[in-house]
Chain A
Amino acid sequence: MKKKLVVIGAGMASGRLLEHLFETAPDAWQVTLFNGEPRGNYNRLMLSPVLSGEKTYDDIVTHDADWYAAHGVDCRFGQPVVRIDRAARVVHSNQSSAEYDALVIATGSAPFIIPVAGKDLPGVVTYRDLEDTDAMIEAGRAGRDAVVIGGGLLGLEAAAGMAARGAKVTVIHLMGHLMERQLDPAAGYLLQRDLERRGIAVHCKGATKAILGHDRAEAVLLEDGTVYPADLVCMAVGIRPETRIAVDARLEVERGITVDDGLRTSDPNIFALGECVEHRGQLFGLVAPLYDQARALARTLSGETAEFRPVQTATKLKVTGCDLFSAGDFAEAQGREDIVFRDPGRGIYKRLVLQDNRVIGVVMYGDTADGNWFYGLIKDGTDIEQMRDTLIFGPGFQGGSRPDPMAAVAALPPEAEICGCNGVCKGSIVNAVQGGATTLDAVRAGTKASGSCGTCTSLVEQVMRLTLGDGFAAAAPGGMCKCTDHSHEDVRRLIRSMGLKSIPAVMQELGWKSVGGCRSCRPALNFYLLAEWPLEYRDDRQSRFVNERNHANIQKDGTYSVVPRMWGGVTTPDELRAIADAADKYGVPMVKVTGGQRIDLLGVRKEDLPLMWADLNRAGLVSGHAYSKGLRTVKTCVGSEFCRFGTQDSTGLGIRLEKLLWGSWTPHKVKLGVSGCPRNCAEATCKDVGIVCVDSGYNISVAGAAGMEVKQTEHLAATPSEDEAVEIVTAFIQLYREHARYLDRPYKWVAKVGLDWVIAQVVDDPRNRRALVKRFETSQSVYRRDPWAEHSTPSETPRWAPLADLTLEAAE
């Protein structure tokens, strides 16, 4: 007589189990199959091609009515099991019951619903079954607005499918880059770029606050206030094992139903497999290990001893045109090494993680042809020492060649402009070289290329190297840092010309050799990007040195110093009182007058910073940016208002300049001085910009220094008009922002580009000067605000304190 087997759930895992069972022991079991969905088994993975229109439902059915009939399966579809009676060995749905000798739970997962207002509105779906898929197809057909919450595997397949059907889709993703569990930021960036190219909008770092709508979903509101219209909202933020009936039956359940190596639960007559189980602390979300479970369970049910052992799984995204592949462990760790290959031109990124001469992880984007080969190396633990050098090029490595770093320059047509300042094109440089100019100086003398601002120097050298071949000996190019061979100038130029707008974009397109940069390139890139794209780029706090991230100078004991701005060195009794009160209230160990005409409160605890700032803000005091690569101080003397020798209002001009320039970020710090007469009490002639007032107006000089090097300023311009003086100073600072390499003070930069060129830009050419001022103003529309105020709000303040303080508890 056949034994009775009841299976709960007709999904991917149980379907495979039944196949094995009927193959090995066709007559052992009489099977009853319950399913929540009103249909039998189909290939759930293929819902995405159904959604995008590449397949129909009929194409993806794996077991049809004939198959069930042929194997005598008693099908109870559309009947979810509601109770398991373990004592009587009976399961119940609302319509029927079935007795069992052995029971298999294969209930899969339930999509996770984020608990926001509006989650239950009609028009909000998940992505799990055919019903969800049909709802999304309908939204696409009607050309509606759709929002997908969640930028993981499922969310992106939903987004791409709906977009293919004609919906206007936005993906909202909580993390900094898409598919962060499978991809590193560089690959995530490429994926995002490809999705955006096909019209899918992507909003990373977006936290959903609510789904808006009266009778049905109309829009999605984010925490940052953004609203996206949405006739359909698909939540694809994750899954959790569907364990409800197991919990009710008091089976042992952790996150999933716990099973042993033979897939047996805590009840010897009950087994479980698929996404609903937890095996040795591990959950499952991809189908490959579930098939292994099915094989093992078929053997257990046949009375053999079987051992399920999970294998590494590989992930692919089923979106046509977005080729990605990831497998194994790609976390960095001691003893691990990366091999990174980037081909910016073709949008390809590959990364292998090696340990002990074995591949342990792989991430690929753009070209995944070798994915399975690498995956095989991981699974087999192949020793790769012999092929290490060419490993990244894949199994056909003999034919593979490294991309030529000069290829981009070689591909430029002769009329491509190389030197923007002097309008020199590639052809002219090639001609000069062929005419005998074999050194940079000779080319510069002959064509003027790179003779001005100098940012194109390395490009000119590349053209020369192309023309001369090995005959060219360039001055060592000097990459920004060990992460790249590109010079600072190259990187700035390429950010501009290629329209790169994020740090991962720069790293990918310019072939960064490290994974996340280093402490030296990250702050530089952050500055270059915000200087180039003030309105589009968002400052990356985590790429800033501690002082700029925390808006205060760190001290050797980990406390901070706080320096409020004193415009032009002028203060009031009320401000002084507020400073004194703050010093008392927060127990400041030292109050010191700085060399920059203001007051330093030293030794403040980090968690007190926002509180102190809020107090200082209330008295009208704002950050003095004493920590920033930006405008520091504008030192002034008393000038014509009080001094018997004063010729102009130097104090007033200093304050005016400080109010104009504050908050701006610059390649290095910038200090100004304004003196009321040539006695120069404000020491203006050793500042980055110094103004000395005279009877006839204003003498502006620049590029002074008084730190590690002491250097007098050089004369830039003289003007009778205060307005023009302000304009020239602003233009000078913007020119410095646009051209200097990060961490060059103005005196170093001016020495490189030559004062004559600077004068030509900001003094002799009023139109150019005004354009510079205008660009400066655009940037200031974003950055001229007090960071202290932004960080001392009620929601930000707690972030400055520890996550938990266990010392208090101990004291009790």
Chain B
Amino acid sequence: MTRYVDIASLEDIPAQGARLIRTTDGCVALFRTADNRVFALDDRCPHKGGPLSEGIVHGHQVTCPLHDWVFDLTTGAARGADQGAVRTWPVRVERGRILISAESLMRGKAA
């Protein structure tokens, strides 16, 4: 069962933008779309490590700022001809609060 941790308010993330959570094993990016859905993905582009959190968010997709690969926020998969995927994490929004799976935050800690 997924355990959820209250991490922030929806308002902390700009619509069509992202904010980061830094963990010992790299950053998790929390994206908020225009329709106020929130997605959590590793903040590392499988191409050359670009920070996806700095990409332009359009629909439920984000374009990597370094070389324009496009990723689906729901699955983390690259769109179009590009191959690769980013890890996604369970996240929920309840009454304006963002709850993220505890596992996403703890990785790197458990041996």
Contacts and interface: CB of A to CB of B under 8 A. Distances in A.
Contact of B19 (A255, A554, A802): A802
Contact of B54 (A331, A543, A549, A802): A549
B86 interface: no
Contacts of B51: 554, 558
B30 interface: yes
A542 B17 contact: yes
B101 interface: no
Interface string B55-89: 11111110101101010101101000000000000
15 contacts: A207-B11, A330-B35, A331-B37, A331-B60, A518-B58, A519-B56, A541-B14, A542-B15, A542-B16, A802-B21, A802-B22, A806-B21, A806-B23, A807-B23, A807-B24
A546 B77 contact: no
A332 interface: yes
Contacts of A523: 56
Contacts of A545: 56, 65
Contacts of B17: 541-542
A312 interface: no
A185 B35 CA distance: 7
- The SS class assigned to the A binding surface is loop
A556 B48 contact: yes
Given A184-B35, A519-B55, A803 B48 contact: no
Interface string A515-531: 11111001100000000
Interface string A480-521: 000000000000000000000000000000000011111100
Contacts of B65: 545-546, 554
Interface string A332-372: 11100000000000000000000000000000000000000
A219 B57 CA distance: 36
Given A331-B60, A545-B56, A806 B22 contact: yes
A805 interface: yes
Nearest to A555: B66
B43 to A, nearest CB: 9
Interface string B6-18: 0110011111110
Nearest to B32: A542
A181 interface: yes
A175 interface: yes
Contacts of B63: 518-519
A333 B22 contact: no
A361 B18 CA distance: 26
Contacts of A803: 7-8, 12-13, 19-21, 30
Given A180-B35, A804-B21, A542 B14 contact: yes
B10 to A, nearest CB: 9
Contacts of A542: 14-17, 56-57
B50 interface: yes
Given A185-B34, A185-B35, A806 B24 contact: yes
B72 A516 contact: no
A519 B16 CA distance: 12
Contacts of B48: 556
B109 interface: yes
A543 B57 CA distance: 8
Contacts of A515: 58-60
A192 interface: no
A155 to B, nearest CB: 16
A332 B54 contact: no
Given A180-B36, A184-B34, A804-B7, A332 B21 contact: no
A550 interface: yes
Given A181-B36, A333-B74, 16 more contacts: A176-B34, A185-B34, A331-B60, A333-B75, A517-B58, A542-B15, A542-B56, A545-B65, A554-B51, A558-B54, A803-B20, A803-B30, A804-B105, A805-B21, A806-B105, A807-B22
A514 B24 contact: no
Interface in B25-55: 27, 30, 33-37, 48-51, 54-55
A550 B63 CA distance: 16
Given A331-B60, A334-B74, A542-B15, A556 B8 contact: no
Interface residues of B, number: 48
A175 B15 contact: yes
Interface residues on A, range: 35 or more
Contacts of B58: 514-519, 522
Contacts of A517: 58
Output the residue of B7, B56, B57 with the most chain A CB within 10 A.
B56
A519 B74 contact: no
Closest 9 A-B residue pairs measured CB to CB? A332-B60, A542-B16, A333-B74, A519-B63, A546-B65, A334-B75, A515-B59, A802-B20, A546-B54
Contact of A332 (B13, B74, B77): B74
Contacts, number: 120
Nearest to B65: A546
A516 to B, nearest CB: 4
A542 B18 CA distance: 10
B49 to A, nearest CB: 8
B6 to A, nearest CB: 11
A407 interface: no
A176 B75 contact: no
Output the residue of A180, A334, A541, A556 with the most chain B CB within 10 A.
A334
A476 interface: no
A567 to B, nearest CB: 29
A331 B74 CA distance: 9
Nearest to B75: A334
B77 to A, nearest CB: 6
A70 interface: no
A558 B51 CA distance: 6
A333 B14 CA distance: 21
A369 B51 CA distance: 45
A197 to B, nearest CB: 23
A187 to B, nearest CB: 10
Nearest to A238: B95
Nearest to A798: B12
Contact of A810 (B11, B55, B109): B109
A805 B22 CA distance: 5
Contacts of B50: 558
A546 B17 CA distance: 11
A503 to B, nearest CB: 10
A703 B59 CA distance: 37
A255 B95 CA distance: 10
A522 to B, nearest CB: 6
B75 to A, nearest CB: 4
Contacts of A176: 15, 34
Contacts of B68: 519
Nearest to B13: A803
Nearest to A183: B35
Nearest to B34: A185
Contacts of A238: 95
Nearest to B9: A803
Interface string A432-472: 00000000000000000000000000000000000000000
A37 to B, nearest CB: 26
A606 to B, nearest CB: 8
Nearest to A335: B75
A175 B66 contact: no
A519 B52 CA distance: 13
A82 B72 CA distance: 51
A516 B56 CA distance: 11
Contacts of B22: 802, 804-807
Interface in A542-579: 542-546, 549-550, 554, 556-558
A332 B15 contact: no
Contacts of B14: 541-542
A332 B8 CA distance: 23
Nearest to A112: B95
